[in-house]
Every structure is written in structure tokens, then in C-alpha cells.
Structure 1
Amino acid sequence: MKVNKFFELVEIKTKLASMIPFFLGTFYALYRYKSFSLANFIVMFISLLTFDMATTAINNYIDHTKAKNNSAENSLTHKYGINQSKVLLIIFILITIAITAGVILTLNTNIIVLLIGIVSFVVGIFYTFGPIPISRMPLGEAFSGFFMGFIILFLSVYVHIYNTNIIIFAYKSNILSISINVIEIIIIFLVSIPAICCIANIMLANNICDVEEDIQNNRFTLPYYIGKPMALKLFKSLYYISYFDILVLVLFKVLPLESLLIFLTFKTVYKNIKLFEKKPVKSENFIVAIKNFVLINASQIIIIGIRAIILH
């Protein structure tokens, strides 16, 4: 299989949706907790990237095998240059690497990472696989936003601060106890809101563009239930929520004052919103959802990263 075809199968360009929360969480751990583990950073990077690629490959495999328009031109062999069995082998290898790295990460940290990893693994598989995949339901935006925007960011923070008692999981004398630093968890969640909203909007933009085709393929996503006009309003609102969240966190000194520089991106983001609202066509304007995601969240990474390095 050619490298470019492999990258097409796993949609390597879309990995920004998992890598940006990962790097944002990493720099936030350094900024707020002044903690960084290179070993855990590398192992989580490998696990996250390979699992993300695996779920995308599964999604493409399912879409091609279940598509009603499954002509020769639309087959896996024609599009990716390999047959179904080899695609399944690639998926198996990617999942194996992801699980192995996840086990190593658990051994380096604690059982909390394993538990969250298992839940994320199950959701990731059923997101694209099963009798009714999550991606074919009106829950896709919520699940993708929460798990990729918050869970990835939280884990990328946690692997550096696992020994600070932010979460304590203990079993002693037949008693299972869990202690959670609620304030810190809430703060991390609030920091992740721009990532949650922007990732949800990538899925929403995709579903808005594909709503007619999805109905033909028995995919009844959120735009099908709420209609395109309401879906477009939601698309716009999620970006506004992201900016409002950043403003609040700066006011409460959770984020550095420099984070207000992110508002310099608002004009471009607003222009992209209007462009998509005017013509929600995938081949022409779906890219604006990716651009807005990168603009807002990459700006956060740069600002928090610089502040973290200065303070560290």
C-alpha cells in the first residue's frame, strides 16, 4: 500500500482534531502544574495517534462496505489500492499498537488512565461500528466534542500530574473509594470548552453538508432532526461560546492575560462562519470548520505554551 493511500485511508489531515487537544493539555499541565513527563508524552502521543487512525479507517471501511452506491469506482480496492482483508489487517495493527502503548502508559501512571482509556476505546469503536454507530445518530457532535475535546485534553494533563491526588482510586479491606478534586476537574473542563465546541462543529459542518446523502445511506444525524437552519445557528453559537469561555477564564485568572489575544482571530472566524452559512457545500466550505478550530485552539496552544515555558 502506498503511503499516500494509507494517509488517505486514515485521513491523516483530520488528526489535528485529536493532536491539538493533546498538545493544549500538555502545555496547560506545564503552565498550571509546572509538571511534564517526556516518557508519558511520547507514549500517549503514539497511543492517541494510532487509535485515532484506526477509528477513522474503521469508519471508511464501514462506509464503503455499507454504502448503497457501492460501485467498482467506489470500492476500497479502487480508492485505496488494497482489498478489504488488508484494510482490516491495517486496522488490527493500529489498534494493537494503540492498546500496547496504552498499557505502557497505565504502568507508568495508574489505573485511572486504564479506566478512562477503556471507556474511550469502547466509545471510539462504537462511534463507527455496531448495529447503530454513534456517528449515524444525532449524538455524534456531543460524543466527538466531549471525548476528543475534553477527555483527550484531560488525559494529556493527567499523565503529567497523576501523582498529585487530583483523582484517587483505592481499594482496601473490600472497600472501593474514589476521591476527586472537583474544582481542578471543573477547571480543566472549562479550559477544554473551545476544543469541545470546535470539534463538535467539525462534525456538525460535515453532517450539514452531507445531510441529504446521509439520509439515503440511513444516517440520521443531528441536522436531520433539527433542520439545516437550526444546525447553522448552532454552528455559529458554539464559536461564540468558545470566545466567551476564554474571556471568563482570563477574568478568573485560570488562563493568562495574554489569552485575550485570541480575540484577534474573531474577525476571521466570523468571516468563515458567514461563508459556511451562505454555502454549506463540503467541497467548497467545509474547510472553514477546520480553519476555525485551528485558529482558536492553536492560538491557545501558542499562548499557553509560551507562558508555560517562561514560567517553567
Structure 2
Amino acid sequence: MESLEQKDIRGALNEKEGFQIWWRLLRPHTLTASFVPVLIGTTLAALDYQVRFELFLAMLVASMLIQSATNMFNEYYDYVRGLDNENSVGIGGTIVRDGISPKTVLGLALSFFAVAIILGIYISISSSWWIALIGMISMLCGFLYTGGPYPIAYTPFGELFAGFFMGTVIIGISYYIQASTITGSVVLVSIPIALLIGTILLSNNIRDLDGDKENGRKTIAILLGRKKARNLLGSLFAISYLLTVGYVVIGMIPIWSLLTFLSLKKARDAYQGFKHKTMPIDMMPAMKATAQTNTFYGLLLGLSLLIQLLYPLSF
């Protein structure tokens, strides 16, 4: 039987049973962090090259599988290390609240990795075997984020690794498999996306600051403290939008890309949502707004590139 506290947590998180249990295991609110970079890399390539849709689709599915598996490893290893319990807030809850076997979660994660490897082989055959090497390194980092003896998530570098591999690397690969080359402009355009992906992890670490500190983690949020971590979050938002303006001014991306500023309200909501909050459950709306900032910014940037493709316009 569930305790009253558990029922309150389920209600606050709007957790449902049935299919929703398995859906939550994927942590769908974070999956745009893999969808958006593939979209951006592909649309950047489409401005100058013929895009192969089958490669785009394979890259998209592989990236989302790797991220989903990483989320499962996260849940599995946090449970194994005793960091999560039935009253924890913000995790998928599949093991600690829904009673799914830890071995099942681990098995699903490994199965997702296996399918991603098959897709990676197809992508490599169609482009370059360097993609296979980069993909394996990315998958290893996904596992080591919470797995292994020294999990990346327990250090101050979690946001950096997540932003680099899920932002810059995925955008770069998505561009390369279509264009058979990579440019400095593609790397630079990836930076705002990488920063916004980093903010998703940072918001998670701000929410979990107290619990993580008790469990010996050394995240950047813990090292800075709650107030400075929130200011860092705001700074990363600001840098992302300022870089966007700069890229438009120098002609690196089209003037249509100023549409990304329509997502600015979500960034503001995220920043303000952490203000004067100390309880994890009270910070959930701010976390959601952080993820939505990345989603809306990325989709609007992708849309701006598609508009430029159809209706070329210079600044």
C-alpha cells in the first residue's frame, strides 16, 4: 500500500499507471534535447546540400534511443546506490514507486543501446566510419554519466558533458552525414543549443541540491550554492540569446532566426521559478520551463532555417 506522502507526490507529479509507467521511464520531457540537435544539424545541411531523409530518421531514432537509455541507466544506478526512494521527487519513479524490476530497467537500457548501435552501423556505412567511433564515445559517456565507479553526474562537469555531446556533437554528426564535411559555423551555431541542454541538467541539480549534497555529490549547483547556481542558469539563457543575435548580425544564420526570441518567456519563467524556492516539488514548474526553453528555441531555430531554405532572405 502507498503511504499518504507517496500519493501526494504522485498527485503533484501527475503520475498515472499503465502505459504511463513505461512512458515516464523514458523521461519524455527531456527527449527534445536529442530531437532538437538532429533537427538543427540537418536543416543547416539542407541550406547547401541535398538531404537524405532516411539518414535524418536513423540519426533521430538513434539519438533518442541513446538518451532514453542514458535516462534508464540514471534511474538504475541511482537506485542501486541508494540515492532514490519511493518519496524522491522528479525521477521517473519506475523502480522505486512503480515496482518495475531494476534488472528490467537495465535490460531495456542495454536493448536501446543495441538498436542504436545497429542504426549507427547503417549511418556509418552511408557516411563515414568515424561516425561509429564518435558514436561509441558518446554512448560510453551516456553510460558513465551515472554508471561506473566515478559517475560524471556526481561531478561539476555534468552540464558540460551533456551540452557538448548532446548539443555540439549531435549537431555536428547530423550535419556531417548529410554534407560529408563540417564547418566552423556549424560548431558555433551549436553553442546556444549546447548551453540550453546544459541548463536542463543544471535545473535538475538546483532542484536536487540538498539531497545530492547529503549523498556526497559535487555538482556545480552544490559548489556554487542555490542563489549563484540560479544566476548561472540565467546567464546561460542570456548568452544563448545574445549569441543568436550575433550570429544573425554577421550572417551566420538568417534573420528569421530572431523567431527564437519567442521562447524567451519560458527562459524567464524558468529563472523566476527557482526564486525563493527550496522544496524540490515547488521547483518542478521551473524545471519544466527550462526544458521547454530548449524545445521552443530549438524548434523555432529549425523553423527559421526551413523558412530560409524556402524563402532566402539576407540581413
| Aligned-residue offset at 1:200 | 0.7
1:12 and 2:57 correspond: no
Higher normalized contact order (CA 8 Å, seq sep 6+, divided by chain length): 1
Q: Which residue of 1 aligns with 2:111?
A: 93
Measured against aligned partners, the alpha-carbon deviations of 1:11-34 in whole angstroms (never above 9, x if no partner) come to 122101111111111111112x23
Aligned 8 A contact 1:25 1:154 in 2: yes
Q: Which residue of 2 aligns with 1:61?
A: 76
Q: Which residue of 2 aligns with 1:298?
A: 299
Aligned 8 A contact 1:272 1:288 in 2: yes
1:48 and 2:83 correspond: no
| Aligned-residue offset at 1:259 | 1.5
| Aligned-residue offset at 1:80 | 3.7
**Number of positions where the alignment pairs a residue of Structure 1 with one of Structure 2:** 290
Q: Distance in 2 between matches of 1:118 and 1:28?
A: 24
- Secondary structure of the 2:206 match is helix
Q: Which residue of 2 aligns with 1:107?
A: 125
- Secondary structure of the 2:218 match is coil
RMSD: 2.3
Aligned 8 A contact 1:206 1:282 in 2: no
| Aligned-residue offset at 1:73 | 9.7
Higher mean C-alpha deviation, range 254-263 or range 108-117: 254-263
| Aligned-residue offset at 1:264 | 4.1
- Secondary structure of the 1:277 match is coil
| Aligned-residue offset at 1:267 | 4.7
Cα distance 1:217–1:259, how it changes in 2: closer, same or farther (>3 A)?
same
Matches within 5 A, 1:120-199: 120-162=138-180, 166=181, 184=183, 186-199=184-197
Aligned 8 A contact 2:195 2:240 in 1: yes
Q: 1:262 aligns with which of 260, 263, 268?
A: 260
Higher mean C-alpha deviation, range 42-51 or range 141-150: 42-51
Cα distance 1:229–1:13, how it changes in 2: closer, same or farther (>3 A)?
closer
Higher mean C-alpha deviation, range 186-195 or range 283-292: 283-292
| Aligned-residue offset at 1:124 | 1.1
Matches within 5 A, 1:20-31: 20-31=36-47
Query: How many percent identity over aligned positions?
Result: 28
Higher mean C-alpha deviation, range 266-275 or range 292-301: 266-275
Cα distance 1:262–1:68, how it changes in 2: closer, same or farther (>3 A)?
closer
- Secondary structure of the 1:205 match is helix
Cα distance 1:144–1:77, how it changes in 2: closer, same or farther (>3 A)?
closer
| Aligned-residue offset at 1:148 | 0.8
| Aligned-residue offset at 1:134 | 0.4
Q: Which residue of 2 aligns with 1:223?
A: 221
Q: 2:242 aligns with which of 241, 244, 250?
A: 244
Aligned 8 A contact 2:27 2:68 in 1: yes
Moved over 6 A (4+): 71-75
Aligned 8 A contact 2:260 2:300 in 1: yes
Aligned 8 A contact 1:28 1:308 in 2: no
Q: Distance in 1 between matches of 2:219 and 2:88?
A: 26
Aligned 8 A contact 1:145 1:197 in 2: yes
Give ranges in structure 1 of 5+ residues lacking alignment. 168-183
User: Which has more helix, going by share of residues?
Assistant: 1
Higher mean C-alpha deviation, range 116-125 or range 261-270: 261-270
Higher mean C-alpha deviation, range 294-303 or range 204-213: 294-303
Aligned 8 A contact 2:257 2:304 in 1: yes
TM-score by length of 2: 0.85
Q: Which residue of 2 aligns with 1:287?
A: 288
| Aligned-residue offset at 1:291 | 2.2
Q: Which residue of 1 aligns with 2:134?
A: 116
| Aligned-residue offset at 1:56 | 0.7
Higher mean C-alpha deviation, range 53-62 or range 282-291: 282-291
Letter in 2 for 1:295: F
Higher mean C-alpha deviation, range 247-256 or range 63-72: 63-72
Q: Distance in 2 between matches of 1:68 and 1:258?
A: 45
TM-score by length of 1: 0.85
Measured against aligned partners, the alpha-carbon deviations of 1:128-155 in whole angstroms (never above 9, x if no partner) come to 2111110111100111111111111111
Aligned 8 A contact 1:9 1:80 in 2: no
